[in-house]
């Protein structure tokens, strides 16, 4: 969507040692137990998964379903942008634990955080943060989460994962909606009593509007907002909540300006219509939730004007806007939050985060703040040790200018996809991306999956999303040399498939 970002970025300061990670030996390659640098290129010595991965999968299978497992990882030997499996393969990782590795594997600065004696008690003890926070928690939040808060937001609550962040974001929206309806008065005794048996008026029939092809998590509330794959939702009951169409843009964008504008207006009109319908049904919409970029659903972009229009609709109808930045936050797009690219007239009401942020949580504006204790609560409310790790991630991002670097390298990566698409229009389409988020479509799912498997054979690990999309989610420390390795392998695979 945003195809040309910052360029002419200063050279990236090296963060690893000079000794080669892979060392030559008569038998081939041996790997140091404490790597100080990445491999210079992928190393593939077996199939992936290899025999050791398959044996471990067979060993695990009696305990739990293993159908989703791709291969077993040697995390001690993984480093930087390379993931090592138990069979001795070293793959350039452009999927990074489903977009959740911010600055690479075994980053020395992260290792130092664990060795710092001042952090020892933070890792040894895991407190119930909502009731017994540690003495340094306020300062730790100021140095980490609040230092990168979305513009205009100063309230934050930490959580354990993305899905529980969404769950509590919805709760905050429902609570604020009802406080507004009460005009600031306390709840009635009837409300207090009826909520305990899941009845109105204490449990009102409110709804949340979400979008087709959205993914917000696998817990029950988040699952009601998720509309991607059947294996996420089958057999689980779900409330009757409205689902609007998300724009399906045509590419290249510059050739379809009018058509894409019409499509976005159609979707916004549908949002307004659904809000009116559900108000008439007695299930008023309290919150609209959207990803700033639909990731799991196929890397579906929309323009800044679409999100500006969505916010206008929410304001007009006194509905709260929740932007789910679980996969897109932490600098993945060249700004710390993707919605910063949208030039919204005011901040969203709630922004959720997780993945590259090391833990989950939600930022929210002052009017969304719960007015009583225990309303947004669980035992741990995240983990202060993860906040300490996030603080160091943020330090590295700032010191090494990784936002600029991500924008620059991401533009270079997108250029590779666009050039491959130009040469192979029957095989590739809709090359798109921003920063460390990139994607390209194949004609169908089986062809995409074949390309994925062939890339792995050549030592590059990628992901998928949607029905036929190849998904790239590298770290913020990706360099152009890594993109060149990807380009070489990708062009080989495309040539084989053509």
Contacts of 258 (CB under 8 A, 6+ apart): none
Catalytic center residues: 215, 324, 355, 379
> DSSP alpha helices (H): ranges in 38-107?
51-60, 96-99
| Beta bridge mates, 438 | 433, 472
Omega before residue 394 within 30° of 0, cis: no
Structure tokens at 382: 């995240």
Q: What is the DSSP string of 191-223?
A: HHHHGGGT-TTTS---EEEEETT----SSHHHH
**For residue 306, what is the enclosing H or E element?**
helix 304-316
Q: What is the DSSP string of 339-392?
A: GGGG--SS--SEEEE-GGGSSEEEEE-GGGS-SSTTSS--SSSS-HHHHHHHHH
> Do the beta carbons of residue 90 and residue 22 sit within 8 Å?
yes
Structure tokens at 351: 């922004």
Question: Edge-to-edge strand order for the sheet containing 82-84?
Answer: 82-84, 90-93, 460-461
Give the integer Cα–Cα distance in Å for 37 and 20: 6
Residue 48: CB atoms within 10 A of its CB come to 18
> Do the beta carbons of residue 71 and residue 49 sit within 8 Å?
yes
| Beta bridge mates, 29 | 24
Structure tokens at 142: 């100021």
Q: Which of 325, 295, 337 is nearest to 433 (CA)?
A: 295
380, burial (CB in 10 Å: exposed 0-12, middle 13-18, buried 19+): middle
For the chain, report the end-to-end CA distance as a whole number of angstroms: 26
Give the integer Cα–Cα distance in Å for 273 and 173: 21
Structure tokens at 385: 């040790």
Contacts of 435 (CB under 8 A, 6+ apart): 5, 331, 332, 333, 334, 406, 407, 410
Give the integer Cα–Cα distance in Å for 73 and 426: 36
């Amino acid at each position: 969507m945003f195809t040309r970002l910052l360029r002419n970025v200063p050279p990236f300061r090296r963060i690893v040692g000079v000794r080669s990670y892979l060392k030559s030996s008569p038998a081939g390659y041996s790997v140091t137990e404490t790597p100080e640098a990445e491999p210079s290129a992928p190393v593939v010595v077996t199939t992936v998964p290899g025999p050791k991965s398959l044996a471990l999968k067979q060993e695990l299978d009696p305990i739990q379903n293993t159908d989703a497992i791709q291969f077993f990882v040697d995390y001690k030997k993984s480093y930087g942008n390379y993931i090592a499996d138990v069979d001795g393969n070293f793959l350039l990782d452009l999927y990074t634990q489903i977009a959740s590795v911010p600055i690479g594997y075994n980053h020395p600065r992260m290792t130092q955080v664990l060795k710092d004696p001042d952090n020892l008690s933070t890792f040894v003890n895991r407190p119930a943060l909502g009731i017994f926070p540690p003495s340094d928690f306020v300062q730790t939040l100021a140095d980490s989460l609040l230092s990168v808060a979305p513009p205009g937001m100063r309230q934050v609550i930490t959580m354990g994962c993305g899905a529980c962040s969404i769950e509590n974001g919805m709760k905050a929206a429902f609570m604020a909606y009802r406080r507004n309806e009460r005009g600031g008065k306390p709840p009635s005794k009837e409300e207090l009593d009826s909520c305990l048996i899941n009845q109105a008026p204490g449990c009102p029939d409110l709804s949340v509007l979400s979008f087709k092809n959205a993914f917000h998590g696998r817990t029950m509330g988040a699952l009601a907002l998720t509309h991607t794959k059947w294996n996420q939702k089958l057999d689980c009951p779900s409330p009757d909540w409205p689902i609007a169409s998300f724009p399906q843009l045509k590419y290249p964008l510059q050739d379809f300006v009018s058509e894409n504008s019409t499509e976005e207006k159609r979707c916004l009109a549908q949002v307004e219509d659904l809000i009116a319908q559900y108000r008439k049904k007695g299930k008023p919409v309290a919150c609209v939730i959207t990803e700033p970029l639909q990731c799991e659903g196929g890397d579906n972009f929309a323009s800044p004007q679409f999100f500006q229009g969505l916010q206008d609709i929410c304001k007009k109808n006194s509905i709260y806007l929740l932007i789910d930045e679980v996969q897109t936050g932490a600098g993945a797009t060249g700004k710390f939050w993707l919605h910063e690219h949208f030039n919204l007239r005011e901040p969203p009401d709630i922004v959720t985060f997780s993945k590259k942020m090391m833990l989950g949580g939600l930022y929210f504006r002052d009017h969304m703040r719960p007015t009583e204790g225990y309303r947004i609560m669980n035992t741990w409310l995240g983990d202060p040790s993860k906040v300490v790790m996030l603080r160091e991630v943020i330090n590295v991002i700032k010191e090494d200018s990784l936002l600029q670097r991500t924008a620059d390298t991401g533009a270079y990566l997108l250029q590779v996809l666009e050039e491959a698409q130009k040469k192979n229009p029957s095989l590739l389409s809709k090359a798109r991306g921003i920063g460390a988020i990139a994607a390209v479509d194949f004609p169908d799912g089986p062809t995409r999956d074949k390309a994925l498997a062939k890339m792995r054979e050549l030592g590059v690990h990628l992901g998928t999303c949607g029905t036929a999309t190849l998904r790239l989610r590298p770290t913020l420390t990706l360099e152009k040399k890594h993109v060149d390795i990807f380009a070489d392998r990708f062009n080989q695979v495309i040539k084989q498939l053509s």
